[in-house]
Amino acid sequence: MVKKLDILIIRSFLGPFIVTFFVSLFVLVMQFFWLYMDELLGKGFSVWIILQLLFFMSSTMVPLALPLGILLASIMTFGSMGESFELVAIKSSGISLLRVMKPLVVVISFVAIGAFFFNNNVIPRANLRAFSLLYDLRNAKMSFNIRPGVFNSEIPGYTIKVGSKSDDGATVHNIIIYERGPYGGNARVVLAESGAVSPSPDGKFLIFRLRNGWRYQEGSDVNNPNSGPHATQTRMHFARYDKIIDLSALKLSRSNEDLFKGGYQMMNVRQLRDDIAQIRKTKQHDIKLSEANFAPYLPVYSKTDIGKNFRHRLDEINSQPAENFGPSFMGYVPDSVRGKALDATIANVRNAIQLIGYTANNVSINDDSLVKRQIVLHGKFTLSFACVLLFLIGAPLGAIIRRGGMGMPIVVAIGFFVLYFIMSKAGEEIAKARTMPAWMGMWMSTAMLLPIAIVIVRAARNDAPVFSKEWYFRIWRRLSRHRHPAS
């Protein structure tokens, strides 16, 4: 009986979970698409390229969609069971709410373990492909588009203008084509009264079939425009001339993905730990190196042997009677070298300040890099814990709400998820600002939600009418009687 009940509960959960997860993932991906829509559309990219980018970005959105899907599905599942009085029947047979949740706790635990491996192995590769592709798309040139009366310089080496276009979109009039030479300036100029423009069948070239025009060439060698600049100019008339322009510069060129592998978003746990250890070594090396370089300028503050000897000598001098010394140190410096001593002192102080600033800047950069990697490292573990925690909030919450479907459960789930998301981002920003340790900032949201989960589980076990309006009305009536006792 209990095994059949476990299977029934798991089946009831899997359906809403799959639906809510993919719906949440779709919404998050569309949010990304709308954010970068202006930079992606209008450049002539193929649908396949856009779909590749959305696919890779959808993998990076899983850490947000998975907890939301679990929270929604758990509230909907237990809310439907409460609405149809299935939970009442189960409890009346002696099975507690925690026992009802047990099979789903096992399922969510496996999901959390899978989420960790996905976050550790798949997402770094997806980030590598997504960020490299997004970089190439954002830096790609606009697709070539001829507009009448406007000079177009999108094709490298050419500036093109047409006076007007016919309704068919191919016939153009009053064409001007400037072709820049290897030494700068316009090496060739083509003028034509009319013509037709069309791409080649493979789309690699743009073909202008020009009629009744002139060609102007700088230089004596008409057949070799790269022969160098000359003072002469050649003019040729043509009745028909085909000008072929290479469009390869407008094609999307893919960057080498190895250039992006050094980013911390593209690392797994082992790589992040190795990188963190290396950054700490570099930081300590910079500090020790600055201490060694600092010694010649202000040895009194140095921790090296020079500084120790200098301070030991000062202690010996300070141990002597005060009457052996004058009112100031400069009083013992001869007048002939007093100016040089002051200049040397000022130069040493300036050099020490520059060295301290340089070292402090390097330490700050290393600390920023360290914090970013620690945030990503702890984020791989907080995702798995958040999946279990949000289930422990959603399942008893659904049992308390006793509402199924897409109404009240969605409102409550989104409210808790927004709370979790805001606290997660707040903790991440606090960690980036180095106000608190990275591990504390990344675990802050789950630490704050854990007491809420415990309270909700206890309320569900005791059948607390938290979402019953009659319960609030009774409390209000009691308070009203205490405030206005009968005379």
Residue 294 has pLDDT above 50, yes or no: yes
| CA–CA separation, 61 and 177 (whole Å) | 47
Long-range contacts of 434-437 (CB under 8 A, 24+ apart): 434/367, 434/371
Confidence band for 110, pLDDT divided at 50, 70 and 90: very high
**Does position 398 have pLDDT exceeding 60, yes or no?**
yes
pLDDT at residue number 324: 57
pLDDT for residue 41 is more than 80:
no
The mean predicted confidence, pLDDT, of the chain is 78
Task: Break the chain into its structural domains and give their ranges.
Answer: 2-140+375-481, 158-249, 262-273+283-372
| Over residues 314-343, mean pLDDT | 69
Q: Which two tokens stand for residue 432?
A: 């980036």
Q: What percent of the chain has pLDDT over 70?
A: 76
Q: Which residues, listed in sequence order, are joined to residue 178 by a DSSP beta bridge?
A: 159, 189
Over residues 102-121, mean pLDDT: 90
DSSP class per residue in 141-188: PPPP---TT--B--STTEEEEEEEE-TTSSEEEEEEEEEE-TTSSEEE
Mean pLDDT of 15-32: 86
pLDDT digits (tens, 9 = 90+) for 401-434: 777 666 676 777 788 888 888 888 888 888 888 8
For residue 74, list its beta bridge partners: none
Neighbours of 413 (CB within 10 A): 26
Residue 177 has pLDDT above 80, yes or no: yes
The pLDDT confidence band at residue 169, using thresholds 50, 70 and 90, is low
Query: What pLDDT digit, counting tens, does each position of 204-219 carry?
Result: 777 888 888 888 887 6
Residue 140: is its pLDDT beyond 50? Answer: yes
pLDDT at residue 143 is higher than 50: no
Quick one: pLDDT at residue 473?
Answer: 63
> CB-based burial of residue 102 (10 Å sphere; 0-12 exposed, 13-18 middle, 19+ buried)?
middle
The mean pLDDT of 336-354, rounded to a whole number, is 81
pLDDT at 222: 46
Q: What is the pTM of this model?
A: 0.64
Percentage of the chain modeled with pLDDT above 90: 2
User: What is the average per-residue pLDDT within 269-296?
Assistant: 83
